[in-house]
Amino acid sequence: MAGSPVSTHSPGDGDGKGPETNDEQKAQMEQAYQQMRRKMRMTKLNDDVGHKFMVLSGKGGVGKSTVATGLALSLARMGQKVGLLDIDITGPNLPKMLGIEGTQLHVEEGQIHPAIGPHGVKVISMAFLIEDPDKPVIWRGPIKLGAIQQFIGDVAWGDLDYLIIDFPPGTSDEPLTVTQSLPTMDGVVIVTTPQEVALLDSRKSINFAKTINLPVLGVVENMRGYTLQGSATNPDGSAITNATIEIGGPSGQKIEAKTDSDGNWNVMLDLFKRGGGESAAEEMDVPFLGSLPFDPGIVRGGDDGVHRIVAEPDGPTAEAFQSIVTRLIENLESPDEDGVTII
């Protein structure tokens, strides 16, 4: 066709290559369009989402996914619109933790619609796309990075106040790809446990964030201590109120506890080193967001899909998350205060 900007051959023009060339060109064009659409959506997501942050740790098993889901649920309970992106494509576990495993993702007009978790949190995870969760998936570098871009650009995230991104442990490729796709990233939240090795690894994560010019929004210290709870009563069954009592701790250790006006008490037993996360944050000149207790309910919740915050919205873990979120919001709203360093 005269004047056509793309077609150099028309079907049956005698060179015997016409139809194939056309198909090839069509496929190339479709691919280019798709890339363009993805890029446009990424730009829109980049501009539209109120705040975006990544949850990182140097070490696996310190509670990154627990913290990412907890922050998402705490923000959503406050009425915020939250998206949660599970970048752990080899071992995705956020859907299980949120009780939405096995959800069939809905695709419309080339866009993937996220699964909806508790409190309306929108979730995208490779777990929804893997047929057999017990079969390991091996991703080569470029394919993995392409999948991450799709997760960002081909998803109908809709209107979001927060986008939280959870990562596999100790990697640098994935966070880099994500920040390239979403350059207005607010920063990173670093999760650590109070043992020396985890703290050392969290220092590496802080340095990593600094080298890619991302502010550290704060450090969360997970599994700080074990909370013992109980109620104290007199032999006649009446409550021992507003008193200091002594209870027997591990290895016969005596622990003092204070009872409230109903006779209830709770004490926190340190599991690892006391205040390690806090001093590591101070030493690295980044904000400390708070600690989470060791809570067996978190493990149970992860296994049976009822998140601790959903099961016990007023419990100590939900409360700890709430105070972490409050500090995080403060740091997000005023990133120059609180010693956030951008180098």
Ligand X SMILES: Nc1ncnc2c1ncn2[C@@H]1O[C@H](COP(=O)(O)OP(=O)(O)O)[C@@H](O)[C@H]1O
Q: Is 87 in the site for ligand X (CB under 6 A)?
A: no
3-state SS assignment for residue 111: strand
Q: Tell me how far apart the alpha carbons of residues 8 and 266 are, in angstroms, rounded to a whole number.
A: 78
Q: Which of 46, 88, 341, 84 is nearest to 180 (CA)?
A: 46
Residue among 299 and 342 whose Cβ is closer to ligand X: 299
Please count the other Cβ atoms lying within 10 Å of the Cβ belonging to residue 290: 20
- Contact between residue 147 and residue 138 where contact means Cβ atoms under 8 Å apart: no
Q: Which does 277 bind (CB under 5 to 8 A by kind): ligand X, Mg ion, none?
A: none
Query: Contacts with Mg ion in 195-224 (CB under 5 A)?
Result: none
Q: Is 63 in the site for ligand X (CB under 6 A)?
A: yes
Q: Is 219 in the site for ligand X (CB under 6 A)?
A: no
The interface mask with ligand X, positions 145-174, x = CB under 6 A, is: ------------------------x-----
Query: Contacts with Mg ion in 52-91 (CB under 5 A)?
Result: 64-65
Stretch that binds ligand X, among 60-68, 74-82, 275-283, 331-339 (CB under 6 A): 60-68
Residue among 57 and 177 whose Cβ is closer to ligand X: 57
Phi and psi at residue 50, in whole multiples of 5°? Answer: -55, -60
Q: Which two tokens stand for residue 136?
A: 């390991």
Stretch that binds ligand X, among 110-118, 171-179, 207-215, 294-302 (CB under 6 A): 294-302
Q: Which does 66 bind (CB under 5 to 8 A by kind): Mg ion, ligand X, none?
A: ligand X
State the sign of the Cα–Cα–Cα–Cα dihedral 174, 178, 180, 183: negative
Q: Which does 63 bind (CB under 5 to 8 A by kind): ligand X, Mg ion, none?
A: ligand X
Q: Which two tokens stand for residue 110?
A: 């080339």
CA distance readout (Å), 226 to 185, 309, 317: 34, 17, 11
Q: Is 202 in the site for ligand X (CB under 6 A)?
A: no
Q: Is 64 in the site for ligand X (CB under 6 A)?
A: yes
Geometric angle at alpha carbon 111, from 90 and 71, rounded to 5°: 55
Residue among 63 and 153 whose Cβ is closer to ligand X: 63
Q: Tell me how far apart the alpha carbons of residues 176 and 281 are, in angstroms, rounded to a whole number.
A: 23
Q: Is 60 in the site for ligand X (CB under 6 A)?
A: yes
Phi and psi at residue 229, in whole multiples of 5°? Answer: -130, 155
Chain positions contacting ligand X, by CB under 6 A: 57, 60-66, 93, 169, 222-223, 292, 294-295, 298-299, 302
